[in-house]
Amino acid sequence: EDQVTQSPEALRLQEGESSSLNCSYTVSGLRGLFWYRQDPGKGPEFLFTLYSAGEEKEKERLKATLTKKESFLHITAPKPEDSATYLCAVRFGFGNEKLTFGTGTRLTIIP
Amino acid sequence: DGGITQSPKYLFRKEGQNVTLSCEQNLNHDAMYWYRQDPGQGLRLIYYSQIVNDFQKGDIAEGYSVSREKKESFPLTVTSAQKNPTAFYLCASSVSLGGNYGYTFGSGTRLTVV
């Protein structure tokens, strides 16, 4: 069964303590992996799209990377305002334009 | 500013009642989507639409209905047939179906059965 798994479920870091979030997928014919940020009670905000193994995208303190079976969202020297839930989603197959979402990683940055 | 507006932010439904959630976008996006979000679960697709007057069932369409009479609007009706409607509902849009450039989400409607 095609699925998307994110780990860890929750992560608490001290301000400035770098770490990585993981998104692994078991799908056939990946046609895009997406990262979103979601603040409590709000809709997700688009961060990155990755299409092929080896691709990397950066935005401020965030860098997303992609391999054949997983993606990492690296956060460098995080600040309290980076606290949020980070969602991963994949699009796979041909003729299937839907996104399948993971359950997210809840990140808390402690001042 | 362009974006997606969902209303209301909070909605309470009585047993056996139909309710309609509003979703309006001014981004000139062709594709629109409805997702449901429950604690501990990923977003699940209810319905999606690529063009006006056309829409497709997602993974959990039972108990829901939609319409797409205008490009800007994609309302979702939660019918009495939906047995567990309490959830956070998110509307999204994208330039084209599949969203190569990402989806733009609204701020959500939290529906509670009372």
Q: Which of A11-25, A66-80, B43-57, B85-99 shows the lowest mean pLDDT across its residues?
A: B85-99
Query: Is the pLDDT at A103 greater than 90, yes or no?
Result: yes
Query: Is the pLDDT at A96 greater than 80, yes or no?
Result: no
Residues B42, A103: C-beta atoms closer than 8 Å: yes
Residues B42, A41: C-beta atoms closer than 8 Å: no
For residue B11, give both structure tokens: 């909605």
- Which residues have C-beta within 8 Å of that of residue B37, sequence separation ≥ 6? B43, B44, B87, B88, B89, B90, B108
pLDDT on residue B1: 63
CB < 8 Å to B48, chain A: 97-98
Contacts across the A-B interface (CB distance below 8 Å)? 62
3-state helix, strand, coil in chain A (%, to 5): 5, 60, 40
Compute, in degrees rounded to 10, the torsion defined by CA atoms A86, B97, A67, B44: 40
**Interchain CB contact of A76 with B (< 8 Å):** no
Per-residue CA distances from B20 to B62, B67, B78 (Å): 15, 11, 6
Average pLDDT over residues A75-104: 88
Residues A97, B97: C-beta atoms closer than 8 Å: yes
pLDDT-derived band at A93 (thresholds 50, 70, 90) equals: low
pLDDT on residue B102: 79
Preferred mutation among A97, A100, A101, A105 to probe B, highest tally of B CBs within 10 A = A97
pLDDT-derived band at B99 (thresholds 50, 70, 90) equals: low
Q: Which residues 13-32 of A have a C-beta within 8 angstroms of B?
A: 31-32
> B14: helix, coil or strand?
coil
Comparison of pLDDT for A31 and A19, the residue scoring more: A19
Per-residue pLDDT tens digits for B21-74: 999 999 999 999 999 999 888 899 999 998 999 999 999 999 999 999 999 999
pLDDT on residue B39: 87
pLDDT on residue B95: 82
> CA A16, CA A76: separation in Å to the nearest integer?
7
pLDDT on residue B109: 97
Query: Is the pLDDT at B97 greater than 70, yes or no?
Result: no
